[in-house]
Amino acid sequence: MNIIVCIKQVPETTEVRINPETNTLMREGVKSIINPFDMYAIEEALRLKERFGGKVSVITMGPPQADAALREAISMGADEGYLVCDRAFAGSDTWATSYTLAGAIQKLKPFDLIICGKQASDGDTAQVGPGISTHLNIPQVTYVKKVEEATDKSMRLERMLEEGYEIIQAPLPALLTVVKEINEPRIPSLKGLMRAKNAKIITFTQKELDLDPQQIGLCGSPTQVVKIFTPTPRVGGQMLKGEVPDIVRELVELIKGEVN
């Protein structure tokens, strides 16, 4: 089974601070890690490879230093790493990112399965995985918490819902996004780390991918960030006391006051 795992390098903290003057993320001094949800995607791909054979390729779009994320995935057991990296891709939103990644994945054909984490811990959009499947015109199953059965033709999956789960049968090739309930990611091995250190990472630029310039980077991104701000914390409520009819009258007056 040939599996492609899409990963993202993100800052290691769930509390990234925002510079109030420039409204940009303050990344200085923050270590970069593989998006924690993508770790489950890598682990699931490795487990499927252990069952069915084949290979696991990891792909990421990002700056040159995202190379470290690919090497970490290789140290866990992935076979190949692909870095999609070009200034032309800078400023991509989820639309342009999924279009670009789908373009790169076309180069890795044939594949049976694409696995993504359910979302990235920095952007929290959960859009890139489904976007890739749409651009590639293959089925998608999001929020997968268990692979029940798998053959080289199809998969039976448990998909997590807010209450309970769905069982979905999907033909392959397909794209899955996975949740943290699916597995426990492994610790790399020493031999894996040595292999990762010397592994060759293949870079795809716009030249190799030859994508529609209107759909990549900032100009291919319909999302425009107008403003980034920290929401002001809610202040405590006001408790009204007394008889119900009096409270209701008081409440109505207060609401009128707010409206005016």
Partner 1 sequence: MDYLLTEEQKMIKDLAHKIAEEKIRPVAAKYDINEEYPWDVLKVMGESDMFGLFIPEEYGGFANSTMNLCLATEEFSRACGGIAVCYAASALGTIPIVLFGTDEQKKKYLPALASGKRVAAFAITEPEAGSDASAIKTVAKKVGDHYVLNGLKHFITNAGDAETYVVIAMTDKSKGARGASAFIVEKGTPGFTFGKKEDKFGIRASSTRELIFTDCKIPAENLLAKEGMGFIVTMRTFDMSRPGVAAQALGIAQGALELAVKYVRQRVQFGKSISSFQGIQWMLADMATEVEAARGLVYATARMVDAGIKDVAKESAMAKMYASDVAMKVTVDALQLFGGYGYMKDYPIEKYVRDAKITQIYEGTNQVQRGIIALKLIKEMAK
- Using CB under 8 A, list all residues that contact partner 1: 186-191, 193-194, 197
**Dihedral, CA of residue 170, residue 173, residue 178 and residue 182, to nearest 10:** 70
Smallest distance, partner 1 to C-beta of residue 27, A: 23
Sign for the CA dihedral angle at 10, 223, 215, 22 comes to negative
Cα separation, 168 vs 152, in Å, equals: 16
**Closest CB to partner 1 among 46 and 176?**
46
**Closest CB to partner 1 among 187 and 259?**
187
- DSSP SS3 for 27: coil
Smallest distance, partner 1 to C-beta of residue 13, A: 16
Cα separation, 222 vs 92, in Å, equals: 9
Smallest distance, partner 1 to C-beta of residue 47, A: 13
**Closest CB to partner 1 among 54 and 188?**
188
Cα separation, 110 vs 3, in Å, equals: 9
Sign for the CA dihedral angle at 246, 251, 257, 260 comes to negative
**Closest CB to partner 1 among 146 and 186?**
186
DSSP secondary structure letter of residue 152: S
Smallest distance, partner 1 to C-beta of residue 150, A: 23
Tally Cβ neighbours within 10 Å of residue 174: 20
**Closest CB to partner 1 among 48 and 170?**
48
Smallest distance, partner 1 to C-beta of residue 182, A: 18
